[in-house]
Amino acid sequence: MTDVPMVHADHIVKSYGTHEVLKDISVTVKRGEVACLIGPSGSGKSTFLRCINHLEAINGGRLSVDGDLIGYRQRGDKLYEMSPSEVSKQRADIGMVFQSFNLFPHMTVLENIIEAPTRVKGIKKADAVATAYELLERVGLAHKAKVYPAHLSGGQQQRIAIARALAMSPKLMLFDEPTSALDPELVGEVLDVMKGLAESGMTMIVVTHEIGFAREVGDSLFFMDGGVIVESGDPRDVLNNPKHQRTQSFLSKVL
């Protein structure tokens, strides 16, 4: 089964009323690959990411993670949307980190991290706590276990959000512009954690404005604009020698 791609998006269409946000998007991400999505605001990057774990229902095409259709089951040649509980079960295997950290303010860092594993996956509290401390060590924040989110910097909160997502032992991590809400001097500490994740073999799809991260860590790069993938390939090739005029214009403004 290892040759099955981790993510296979096949002609994905997503509309809000008459507004087509995603127009025929096809993307394949292999196991252990880091795929970066770049492009202007409103190009559909975040919407596409949210479709991968069925936070947004697609209007056309097929989306599978690790060989399983996401959000739908097939009977004959028709797709039927799964129940919310079935979707939640699928989502438990897909970690997602947003721009805003979304930590529970009334819980300590440790409580934030063990909440989902104990409630959703039924992991014993002692085991969840042990894993949480390992993950806090990994993101360099073991000394903050008993602290509440309000007493952490933005960069620290985002590293906790990553640890919280990892506590569910996901097979895939989705990052939606994880550094865009951070002060510039805090961006590096979050990107360092993400680099470590990539080195450990985690499959990641990252919507980012951090072109240096895409160049250094990415295995593939997709430039999106107007709901389509304009250009894709090896990040170094696309960034150093963009073929499409729209890609050239975008990169001339951000590089």
Residue 86 tokens read as 């079935």
Residue 131 tokens read as 């894993």
Residue labelled with tokens 């729209």: 246
Predicted local distance difference test score (pLDDT) of residue 235: 98
Superfamily of domain 29-53+92-252: P-loop containing nucleotide triphosphate hydrolases (3.40.50.300)
Q: What is the pLDDT of residues 141-192, one digit of tens each?
A: 999 999 999 999 999 999 999 999 999 999 999 999 999 999 999 999 999 9
Cβ–Cβ under 8 Å, residues 48 and 63: no
In our burial notation (b when 16+ CB lie closer than 10 A, e otherwise), range 177-200 reads bbbeebeeebbebbbebbeebbee
DSSP letters for 17-33: TTEEEEEEEEEEE-TT-
Upper half-sphere CA count for residue 63 (Cβ side, 13 Å): 23
Asked whether the CA dihedral 158, 92, 173, 223 is positive or negative, the reply is: negative
Per-residue pLDDT tens, the chain, 255 aa: give them.
468 999 999 999 999 999 999 999 999 999 999 999 999 999 999 999 999 999 999 999 999 999 999 999 999 988 899 999 999 999 999 999 999 989 999 999 999 999 999 999 999 999 999 999 999 999 999 999 999 999 999 999 999 999 999 999 999 999 999 999 999 999 999 999 999 999 999 999 999 999 999 999 999 999 999 999 999 999 999 999 999 999 999 999 988
